[in-house]
Structure 1
């Protein structure tokens, strides 16, 4: 922010939500929210901003609520969270080997509590811009010891906001 030729830095998290949205919109970011906390062992609700910059997708997580929900276990250690990229247009699978940097947590999450993360930054490096309009982000949860993963998936493509149409099984 500048005033009378002087520049002042204001941390965005001190601004009201609508003011944060205004700043991020002017920086070219789009707001997105997905997850309904009903996935696999770990599930979440992710509120984030994203921006494509060349062959990168920049992601700023405003808030990420994570819950452990296996009814026959008290809890489990969550190893890491990150974003994966999916692309199913003209393919028979949704997954790719493209993912963001990983946030190492190694934190036990019990069934009675939500782990709430906020103000996080992730970056996805794309291999090609060829199918950018068909890309969607997937929230990925990796268990610490079992190496198992589960996902929260959106219902629309990231860039076009078109509804994702899953291929029929043959």
Structure 2
């Protein structure tokens, strides 16, 4: 099958598949007599593996390492466990960061009720104040942290 068919079957864009070939995640297939690449079932399985790993927010480097393990069925999977533990730690850190962002946005949202003109909007006033290095609802402790005004709002 050609790359367009592979893209349709796997749900991966053609350009993305070509990129995966360039970085070594998908093997370059043999060429047909007309010069077109001929992908087989193994390309479908590999592309689906990559797509699934990407839905788990895994980076291409980690996916490459996992693919290497799939080609060594007798290898110890301790490194696979370690790789997943590292990824899980990154996901947990991202979740904590998102929770903090949610709290900051919720605090900011309390600065304005509906029905005001933009000139009277507490949210906009707070964001403008923060741009000037002043404490704001989304970072209320900035005024007390001793951090430089610029660093507190980066």
- TM-score bracket, normalised by the shorter chain, equals under 0.3
TM-score in terms of structure 1 length: 0.20
Q: Which has the higher helix share?
A: 2
- Structure of greater Rg: 2
Q: Which has the higher contact order (CA 8 A, sep 6+)?
A: 1
Q: Which has the higher strand share?
A: 1
